[in-house]
Amino acid sequence: MHAYIGSAAHPVIVGTGSHFPDEQVLNHQLCGPAGVTEDWILEKTGIVSRRRVAKDEATSDVAYAAATKALADAGVSASQLSQVVVSTSTPDILGFAVASQVATALDCPLDTGTYDVNAACSGFLTAMAITHRGMRDSDEFALVIGTDVYSRFRNDRDKRSTALWGDGAGAVVIGPRSTATSKAEILATWYTRYPTELETGGIPAGGSRTPASSQTVENAQHFVALNGRRIGEIFKQNVPTLLDRFLDRAGYHRDQIDHVIPHQGNHRLVQSMADMLKVDPAKVHATADRFGNTGSATIPTTLDIARSEDRLREGDVILMLAIGIGMTFSFSLIRWMG
């Protein structure tokens, strides 16, 4: 167990921001190709709507939109950023960092470091932990973005997963505690793994294991697949115990948690969190019913939405946790500063 425990001198979250595309996709639009009904989708997923990028938009575009909002909230200019870090599983193109595209769009200095993190749906918390742990300069600012555009990889005929996916991006700016716009101190972070199970999901073709070919296209292997049942089993079997270890190392217990922001895999999973984690259901934040599963974006967008809805109070302790195919787990504990 190697949870990172923050300190009073360490940088804090100084700004948040989120962005969803304008186009709304409702359940009735997905029923026909998937061979299901609206009631079936609602019963199985609890999702009512999700967003989809325009034809000329890609992952870097929604990431840029969230980034500009987070920077404005922090009162920080792009010229002040020492790092831009993006968590995503759906880059614009393979082999090209989305973070570099965002930094260019923001007109960051050439000495601004950029890199992407891919830990699937737990990637944002992993990226935030890595970035925060590496910051030592008291004047340093870093931008961390979680973003995915799964609509480009949705298989409309896959009834198990087509209704889950939405597009979006969320971002935080990390900077000095002395910054006037300080929002939250990072108390502790941890990321770990579970033995790899390829059958849990992913985009099977297009990588080095199975390069693109006419056969992979014919077999619909360039769409995202998901074994939600198996992922749910792994979550229930492991996360409660891992959470106990994380909180114990951080010096906190469940009664001290005021808010739980989990990965929004689907609304039904989020609804089961309170019982699974033994916390008050009123503490669990849900956005999957409105925006679906936006991958790396679910945690930062849900945090920003909770703030915009005025649900966070000074001194509140917020637990954020996620599981990603791969399999990966990430946990963060923050205290809201107002």
CA distance 301 to 169: 7
Catalytic residue among 263, 266, 267, 285: 263
266 catalytic per annotation: no
Closest CA to 19 of 288, 305, 260, 309: 305
Burial class (CB in 10 A: 0-12, 13-18, 19+), 229: exposed
Q: How many CB atoms lie within 10 A of CB 45?
A: 23
Verify whether residue 31 is a known catalytic residue: no
Structure tokens at 276: 């699974």
Q: Which of 121, 132, 155, 227 is catalytic?
A: 121
From the candidates 155, 227, 266, 293, which is the catalytic residue?
293
Cα separation, 269 vs 39, whole angstroms: 17
Residue 92 gets which letter from DSSP?
A: S
132 a catalytic residue: no
In this structure, which amino acid lies at residue 211?
A: P
Angle, helices 267-277 vs 228-250, to 10°: value is: 40
State the angle between helix axes of 38-45 and 267-277 in degrees (0 to 180), rounded to the nearest 10.
20
Task: Judge whether 180 and 317 are in contact, CB under 8 Å.
Answer: no
Active site amino acids: 121, 263, 293
